[in-house]
């Protein structure tokens, strides 16, 4: 609890420093790269374009995605502030900072829960990326090569209707 007050004060000081000195010059480049990653990565492209069933879903997705980003920021700011100010020794490996917060308070079960959540999220991202890349390879490289070298006919009755 006393540490929480210090972390809150540190967050407030960080916001004041940003207001005084402005954002770092790399901020806009990093923001642009993050925005491009949302569109250009195969996983995001697959979810946003290939899996889109109805154009009406885009309006809802914009609102939910904005809400998701805001909630993520609200969760990241206190954790990052705690890691920067209260426990800089955990920043030698930044990926472990989130796991070190519950461990520093002897909450092993919470650290395990955080680890399992991160592991399941990364597994899901790998699966969607693998599906997206396999679809792209199949549709843009393999099938055109098979048709070009006449190893497969577009009129083959064994082909699914999607590929014809």
Choice between 108 and 84, residue whose per-residue pLDDT is larger = 108
Residue-level pLDDT at 109: 95
Domain count of the fold of the chain: 1
Q: Which two tokens stand for residue 48?
A: 């946003």
Residue-level pLDDT at 147: 82
Q: Which two tokens stand for residue 57?
A: 């879903």
Q: What is the DSSP letter of 83?
A: I
Has residue 90 got a pLDDT over 70?
no
Has residue 45 got a pLDDT over 70?
yes
What domain range is 112 assigned to? 2-163
How far is it, in rounded angstroms, from Cα 155 to Cα 164? Answer: 7
Lookup result for tokens 């805001």: 70
Helix, strand counts (H, E) of the chain:
7, 0
Q: Tell me: the pLDDT tens digits for 129-145?
A: 888 888 888 888 898 88
Choice between 113 and 35, residue whose per-residue pLDDT is larger = 113
Residue-level pLDDT at 20: 64
Q: Which of 116-125, 132-141, 153-162 is least confident?
A: 153-162
Closest by alpha carbon to 79, among 105, 102, 110?
102
CB-based contacts of 155: which residues, under 8 Å, 6+ apart?
164
Q: What is the pTM of this model?
A: 0.60
Has residue 123 got a pLDDT over 80?
yes
Residue-level pLDDT at 71: 93
CB-based contacts of 82: which residues, under 8 Å, 6+ apart?
3, 7, 101
How far is it, in rounded angstroms, from Cα 57 to Cα 53? Answer: 8
CA 22 to chain centre: 26
Q: Tell me: the pLDDT tens digits for 95-115?
A: 777 888 888 888 899 999 999
Cβ proximity of 101 and 82 under 8 Å: yes
How far is it, in rounded angstroms, from Cα 11 to Cα 120? Answer: 30
């Amino acid at each position: 609890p006393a540490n929480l007050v210090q972390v809150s004060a540190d967050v407030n000081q960080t916001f004041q420093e940003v207001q005084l000195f402005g954002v770092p010059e790399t901020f806009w480049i990093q923001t642009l790269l993050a925005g491009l990653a949302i569109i250009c990565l195969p996983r995001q492209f697959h979810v946003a374009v290939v899996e889109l069933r109805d154009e009406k879903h885009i309006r809802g997705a914009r609102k939910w995605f904005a809400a998701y980003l805001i909630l993520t920021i609200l969760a990241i700011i206190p954790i990052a502030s705690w890691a920067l100010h209260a426990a800089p020794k955990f920043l030698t490996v930044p990926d472990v900072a989130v796991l070190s917060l519950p461990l520093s308070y002897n909450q092993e079960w919470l650290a395990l829960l955080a680890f399992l959540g991160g592991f399941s999220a990364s597994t899901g991202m790998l699966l969607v990326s693998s599906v997206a890349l396999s679809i792209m390879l199949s549709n843009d490289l393999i099938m055109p090569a098979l048709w070009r070298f006449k190893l497969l006919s577009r009129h083959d009755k064994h082909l699914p209707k999607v590929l014809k």
